[in-house]
Chains A and B, each alone.
Chain A
Amino acid sequence: QSALTQPPSASGFPGQSVTISCTGTSRDVGGYVYVSWYQQHPGKAPKLLTYEVSKRPSGVPSRFSGSKSGNTASLTVSGLQAEDEADYYCSSYAGSNTFVFGTGTKVTVL
């Protein structure tokens, strides 16, 4: 299965919102609710931000929100903070008992 497509980079000033897209097909993102988002700081393991499109694990701030429309999922980070500067990856169930990650987006806080 091919990696889901994300923009290589995104940026915003502190306090602003940034939205990252994750584009797949009807065989993955568009076909299932099992879409999740992860944040990864350099040298660290990924951290789950949202799952099943829009659910948030306990402890994840509400300014991280997930959504989906058709074959594209999105993660919005509201009220951008310096510590939000990181790489972000989406993931989706891809059918036939497999999962696929996105290509990743580097978010820069200006």
Chain B
Amino acid sequence: EVQLVESGGGLVRPGGSLRLSCAASGFTFSDYSMNWVRQAPGKGPEWVSSISSTSKYIYNADSLKGRFTISRDNAKNSLYLQMNSLRAEDTAVYYCARDTSSGISGNFDYWGQGTLVMVSS
């Protein structure tokens, strides 16, 4: 059974940093691209970042302006999102989502339960 379990969310002050993790199991992690998608309270999903299976290709939402960095460790079956210079508008549930292929297609077939990031003073 495919499982994606996010961790690392919490309350952080504006300007602070957080590192989210996603532990994957139930499939060959190194065969799939992975993604982060966030959803602000009461809003629709917003794509954040994608990374190909070998980390060769990385796509980021323009709105992030380089503040977030996606990475992965295939030996540890883990996906990460380093978030810096956090703002109130970054408050959201952050989901880890598997792509349907090794290349980045934007088709997210499995999702974790999400981890809540709250940016507030």
Contacts and interface: CB of A to CB of B under 8 A. Distances in A.
A46 B61 contact: no
Point out which of A45, A91, A100, A104 has the most chain B C-beta atoms below 10 A from its C-beta: A45
A11 B95 CA distance: 28
Contacts of A38: 45, 108
A102 B44 contact: yes
B107 A51 contact: yes
B36 to A, nearest CB: 11
A62 interface: no
Interface residues of A, number: 27
Given A98-B59, A98-B61, A48 B109 contact: yes
A23 to B, nearest CB: 15
Interface stretch (B11-19, B22-30, B81-89, B110-118): B110-118
B50 to A, nearest CB: 8
A97 interface: yes
Contacts of B112: 45
A86 interface: no
A48 B47 contact: no
A104 B113 contact: no
A45 B107 contact: no
Interface in A12-46: 34, 36, 38, 40, 45-46
A52 interface: yes
A81 interface: no
A5 B67 CA distance: 27
Contact of B108 (A46, A98, A103): A46
A41 to B, nearest CB: 12
B49 to A, nearest CB: 10
B9 interface: no
Nearest to A104: B44
A1 to B, nearest CB: 7
Contacts of A45: 95, 111-114
A47 B113 CA distance: 11
Interface of A: 1, 3, 34, 36, 38, 40, 45-48, 51-52, 57, 87, 89, 91-93, 96-104
